[in-house]
Amino acid sequence: MNWQFWKKSSEEKEKEAPKSKTREWWDAILFAVIAATLIRWLIMEAYTIPTPSMENSLLVGDFLFVSKFHYGTRTTTTPLQVPLTHQKIWFTNIPSYLEWVKLPQYRLPGISHVKRGDVVVFNVPPRGLNDNIDYPVDLKTNYIKRCVAVAGDIITIKDQQVFTNGEAMPNPPEMQYSYKVMSDSPINERNLNKLGLSGPEDYQGGGQQDGKFYYMMWLTDERAAELKKLSYIKAVEKVKRDEVEGQIPYSSFFDWEGGSEKRYSNWTTDNFGPLWVPKKGATIAINDSTLTFYGATIKLYDHNKDVKIEGGKLFIDGQELKEYTFKQDYYFMMGDNRHNSLDSRFWGFVPEDHIVGKAFFIWLSIDKNADFIHKIRWSRFFNLIR
């Protein structure tokens, strides 16, 4: 009896026709695509920093790997998708996915949870930041920010300092703010490069008034101190964003019955809150005040279908609710470039199902504004992201 029946005999092997070169290439490409898709979905994915919102912690042109296994990878809601694509097929405006089949989304077990201070990649929630298209959650535009408050926290910003549950949060060492800089003469490119300022994401201006030259720069406190020591620099003033901005989404509620707008806050970019971050299982009373802060979250992101908010009242499936219990956790994200970041201060909370992964390490960094010799930032290679 042949106890190794699964093995092919030498005669069978001889009868098999050898694979053509085309077939070998096809098999190799198919294997590579499948392997890359699984790695990208389960373990790690590559991202590029396109904007200065996380400077000087992360720079425009940094290429980084984002860990999916830290928080647990998500299952896709649209299985009919071109492999290794996001919203569009490469170099076209053709959607990379079909919604003929839609599945519920789940998250596989991870090795940790999102913590304060983590640098996180997530799908930005608002439709307006997704080309005004209702993408599936896992195909919304990717943003990267630092988590400053987790579910159940109370976040406050006082004179630019972030507080969580009444305690000052440690500031990232490379955190930046905007500064007004005045000089006797135009600052040449060589001196700007010495300060690590290499393009429009780092500074703007240079206009002249009354014989002085004025710039707006985004600087760490250390770089601002260096700038003050230069003989031709006459003033370096940290900007305070104390004006009440229409972009802040937690400021007012329109009273339909009274026909007037009620203002609940005068929050600004630098003075914000206190604001409670929704937590799964937590219940809030429903009134015009709570709907000001949480109405959009309940309606758009907490997995409710028929939601109406009218006259300071909440209706779900036609029933008025006096209380509401949240169905998932939420997070508050901010960029380290505090005056040049479109973050949770302006568009709200990040739902748990929008979390992609934890920024892990930089594997390449390219300065698009530098000359050929200095184009690659060698010192940033393989830096862990903190």
CATH number of the domain that 212 lies in?
3.30.70
233 and 252 both lie in a single domain: no
301 and 344 part of one domain:
no
In-domain check, residue 72: yes
One domain, residues 213 and 264: no
Do 54 and 120 fall within a single domain? yes
Is residue 21 included in any domain, yes or no? Answer: no
Structural domain count of the chain = 3
The CATH code of the domain that includes 342 is: 2.10.109.10
7 domain-assigned: no
CB 249 within 8 A of CB 294: no
Residue 19 lies in a domain: no
- Residue 366 has what DSSP assignment? B
Residue 158 lies in a domain: no
Looking at the domain assignment, is residue 353 inside a domain?
yes
Whether residues 189 and 123 share a domain: the answer is no
> What would the two tokens of residue 227 be?
């700038």
Same domain, 57 and 146: yes
How confident is the model at residue 249, as a pLDDT? 63
Q: Are residues 287 and 213 in the same domain?
A: no
CA distance 318 to 91: 45
Nearest to 292 by CA among 324, 342, 254: 254
Residues 91-129: tens digit of each pLDDT: 899 999 999 999 999 999 999 999 999 999 999 999 999
Residue 337 lies in a domain: yes
Q: What is the pLDDT along the chain (386 residues), one digit of tens a residue?
A: 555 555 555 555 555 557 677 777 776 777 777 776 777 777 888 899 999 999 989 999 999 999 999 999 999 999 999 988 899 998 899 999 999 999 999 999 999 999 999 999 999 999 999 999 999 999 999 999 999 999 999 999 999 999 999 999 999 999 999 999 999 888 888 888 888 887 788 888 878 888 889 999 999 999 999 889 888 889 999 999 887 665 566 655 444 344 445 556 678 899 998 999 999 999 999 998 888 889 999 999 999 999 998 888 999 999 999 999 999 999 999 999 999 999 999 999 999 999 999 999 999 999 888 778 888 999 999 999 98
Q: CB-based burial of residue 326 (10 Å sphere; 0-12 exposed, 13-18 middle, 19+ buried)?
A: buried
Shared-domain flag, residues 272 and 231: no
Range of the domain at 224: 177-238
366: β partners: 376
Residue that finishes a domain, picked among 218, 238, 258: 238
Quick one: tokens of 312?
Answer: 């300071």
Task: Please indicate, yes or no, if residue 171 is contained in any of the structural domains.
Answer: no
* Same-domain status, 50 and 141: yes
Are both 218 and 257 inside the same structural domain?
Answer: no
CA 157 to chain centroid: 20
Do 319 and 337 belong together in one domain? Answer: no
58 and 138 in a common domain: yes
- pLDDT score of 190: 81
